[in-house]
Structure 1
Amino acid sequence: MAIPTFLKPRMLLAAGAALALSGCFGVPDVLKRGDGGEKVSSRPARPSSSDAPSFNSSSARQCAVDLQQAGVRFTPLPDQQHGGGCSSIDSVKLLDIGTPVSGLGPMTCPLARNFAAWAQHAVRPAARKFFGSEVVKIETFGTYSCRNIYGGRSGRLSQHAYSNAVDVAGFVLADGRRIMLKSGWNGDRSSQDFLRALHKSACRRFGTVLGPEYNAAHHDHFHFDMSGNGYCR
């Protein structure tokens, strides 16, 4: 059916208004070509139960940028409240820091950033200096654990309960040697010098550093976390 001439201007105005309103309530994502030729969305994906949300704080978002600029591969993790006061907030899963690492779970982004930098700028050079070999693996006892401070009488939660701590147990060299805290801290001279150099360098990167000389609970590992203000034992 033909549209009367006098109605056409009104219909054009209505259509224009509808398009303007659609801009207020959202429009389809625009796809563009990525560097590899794949189609990527120009808008960030909306968070869901399976998608990692944006970090809450500006400092955490800057931390993610720092990791990217350092060439570290990681996955942001959804915020979680685990119960009992334990949580994982603004945390990541490290995928590749240039050296394989065992046992890593959720880590707060600042902890992950400093750990990756420590591995690159302290662990690898120290292995070359003291052993003439490359580190091919860093072994840890893990990160997140909903528990209190070991040996503490206050009943306070450990920084592990906030995904804000990592325990380093030892290192595997390219020639097959394993330099472990349990046997190496008071072992041969090269192992002692290597581990003490790493302890000293960690004290410049983490808020709290605890080693075998702190107490019996730490006889076999370094504890690093981002709390405190340069507490080094």
Structure 2
Amino acid sequence: MALFVIEGAAWMKRNRSDLPWTELDLAAPPGRFTAAKIAELGQDPPRCRALLAAAGNDSRPAPDRRVSETCGYQDGTALALGITPAPAGLVTSCPVAAALTVWERETQAAAQRLLGTEVRRFVHAGSFSCRRLYGREEGAWSEHATADAVDILGFELADGRRLSVLRDWQEQGAEGAFLREARDAACRSFSTVLSPDYNEAHRDHLHLDTADRGPGGWRACR
């Protein structure tokens, strides 16, 4: 019995990110509950910013933006990542900045392993957009309406290569494999990840969002 307790304690210490009650650490490898914990940070912007700082992320608060009762944000974050957003000056919610902190570390590792180089920039189509899902006139609001999402179109590598989700997703070599691994890495820190494998509407980008569905909330990775 004592051995079982000791082994159980050792397992929990090694796998803290897989436990729902442990403190989120953005510098640690992501686990089963990392995405849900990051999404919850939308309820506590000061804690979110403290966790960013503890992980060495220099992102800074951005001015609040309020378009209507359903559109806007109070935890805007001007991103400062190792993988630079292009165009520059991207502002997201704080949870998205936190999720990108975890994601970029795994994405850089995939780039080194598959492509033998680093990612310098990710090309994006923005974060905040006051609109409903798929631009419909009725129905649920998009996570973009609160800057809790970002759409990634491709990557610029340190060796000069440019990868496009639209052009290279189905490529069967290392470049296509990297794009798919970047998607899979996002699934470990974002609540929702939608790629060209999901539907035609996402044929040219990766949609990443931090929808807060609660501690045991479901995740979408397609």
- Fold match by TM threshold 0.5: yes
Instruction: Give 1:201's aligned residue.
Output: 185
Q: 1:67 aligns with which of 19, 34, 52?
A: 52
3-state secondary structure, aligned to 1:137: strand
Contact 1:204 1:230 in 2 (8 A): no
Instruction: Give 1:7's aligned residue.
Output: none
Q: Distance in 2 between matches of 1:130 and 1:154?
A: 43
Give the count of matched residue pairs: 176
1:90-132 CA deviation, whole Å, 9 max, x = no partner?
22111x212221145331111111112211x221111111110
The alignment status of 1:185 with 2:148, answered yes or no, reads no
Instruction: Give 1:79's aligned residue.
Output: 64
Contact 2:153 2:164 in 1 (8 A): yes
Instruction: Give 1:169's aligned residue.
Output: 153
With structure 2 as the length reference, what TM-score do the two structures score? Answer: 0.73
3-state secondary structure, aligned to 2:134: coil
Structure number with the bigger relative contact order (C-alpha 8 A, sep ≥ 6) is: 2
Q: Distance in 1 between matches of 2:158 and 2:203?
A: 25
Higher share in strand: 1
Following superposition, the deviation at residue 77 of structure 1 comes to 2.3
**What root-mean-square deviation, in Å, do the aligned CA atoms of Structure 1 and Structure 2 show?**
2.1
Instruction: Give 1:106's aligned residue.
Output: 91
CA separation of 1:128/1:147 partners in 2, compared to 1, >3 Å: closer, same or farther? same
Following superposition, the deviation at residue 151 of structure 1 comes to 6.6
With structure 1 as the length reference, what TM-score do the two structures score? Answer: 0.70
Contact 1:71 1:97 in 2 (8 A): no
3-state secondary structure, aligned to 1:160: helix
The alignment status of 1:156 with 2:140, answered yes or no, reads yes
Percent identity reads: 36
Aligned 1:28-47 pairs, distance under 5 A: none
Instruction: Give 2:111's aligned residue.
Output: 127
Q: Distance in 1 between matches of 2:188 and 2:113?
A: 19
1:6-42 CA deviation, whole Å, 9 max, x = no partner?
xxxxxxxxxxxxxxxxxxxxxxxxxxxxxxxxxxxxx
Q: Which structure has the bigger radius of gyration?
A: 1
For structure 1, which runs of at least 5 residues remain unmatched after alignment?
1-55
AA at the equivalent of 2:143: Q
AA at the equivalent of 2:147: S
CA separation of 1:136/1:142 partners in 2, compared to 1, >3 Å: closer, same or farther? same
AA at the equivalent of 1:226: T
Instruction: Give 1:230's aligned residue.
Output: 219
Q: Distance in 1 between matches of 2:43 and 2:197?
A: 37
Moved >3 Å (runs of 4+): 151-154
Instruction: Give 1:91's aligned residue.
Output: 76
